[in-house]
Structure 1
Amino acid sequence: MKDFGLLLLRVGFSALMLTHGIPKFLKLIQGNFEFGDPFGIGAAPSLFLAVIGEAICPILVIIGIKTRWASIPVIITMLVAAFLIHANDPFSVKEKALLFLIGFTSILLLGPGKFSLDKK
């Protein structure tokens, strides 16, 4: 049952993350680079990094390819979202980023389980 739990954790958190990442990906391919710039690197690079963390890496986590490595950009993205972007917002606004942070940190620590391409 542990491996089914890990599969549910990977697929559940990643699928929910994609609801945030896919709109950003579509924005990127449409050429709309309006986005926050928390590190001063520019809106386009910041959007590109967010797409990696919220769309590309969650797909890798769902499939189970380099799962632990793929969870790291998501964790970094959620740290930025919770503690930089929403630093002055109430907890109820930060909560979603913190939940994703906990979920993907758990994936990093536990690994993908046997129902992944990592284990094939």
Structure 2
Amino acid sequence: MSTKFSLVGNQTAAIDLSLLLVRIAAGGFMFTHGWGKLVKLVNGNFEFGDPIGLGVEVSLALTVFAEIICAFLILVGLFTRLAAIPLIITMIVAVFVVHLDHDFGKKELGLFYLINYLVLFLSGAGKYSVDSLLRNK
């Protein structure tokens, strides 16, 4: 690829920038999904589904862990591959259990998040991350 028309200089830089953007979107947006659930959990309101039979409290706590803690870790790029695992599981449950009988429109966002978390699991956080800072020390 000619660098004459390249916005970021080279393919490696483009990939690292792309991973940063994916992390900001997938981590930041998911954090907003989890915020309401965190408030419910802190307030002792356990009105939540129990899609895989773990109990309502456990299901809510695990979802909050994934959507708040793991989403934040993804956002900053810390323990990215490890943090992606609970989010992948959460999205699999959302898409293939909770919304199994719903039309594609209900599954679409969960599938989109799932694909992003799979990409981050496979690729890692990229250069612009805390993981990269720790690796280079």
The gaps in structure 2 that reach 5 residues or longer are 1-13
Choose which of 87, 92, 99 in structure 1 pairs with 2:105: 92
Partners of 2:33 and 2:55 lie apart in 1 by: 20
Query: Aligned Cα RMSD in Å?
Result: 0.8
Partners of 1:41 and 1:76 lie apart in 2 by: 14
How far 1:21 sits from its partner (Å)? 0.7
Which aligned runs of 4 or more in structure 1 are off by greater than 3 angstroms?
A: none
User: Could you state the TM-score of these two structures normalised by the residue count of structure 2?
Assistant: 0.85
Q: Is 1:61 paired with 2:61?
A: no
How far 1:44 sits from its partner (Å)? 0.6
How far 1:19 sits from its partner (Å)? 1.7
Q: How many residues align?
A: 120
How far 1:52 sits from its partner (Å)? 1.2
Q: Is 1:111 paired with 2:97?
A: no
Q: How does 1:7-46 map to 2 (within 5 A)?
A: 7-46=20-59
How far 1:4 sits from its partner (Å)? 1.1
**Greater fraction helix:** 1
Q: How does 1:74-89 map to 2 (within 5 A)?
A: 74-89=87-102
How far 1:18 sits from its partner (Å)? 1.3
Partners of 2:75 and 2:53 lie apart in 1 by: 31
Partners of 2:102 and 2:34 lie apart in 1 by: 21
Partners of 2:49 and 2:118 lie apart in 1 by: 24
How far 1:13 sits from its partner (Å)? 1.1
Residue type at the aligned position of 1:37: D
The gaps in structure 1 that reach 5 residues or longer are none
User: Could you state the TM-score of these two structures normalised by the residue count of structure 1?
Assistant: 0.96
SS at match of 2:65: helix
SS at match of 2:101: coil
Structure with bigger RCO (C-alpha 8 Å, 6+ apart): 1
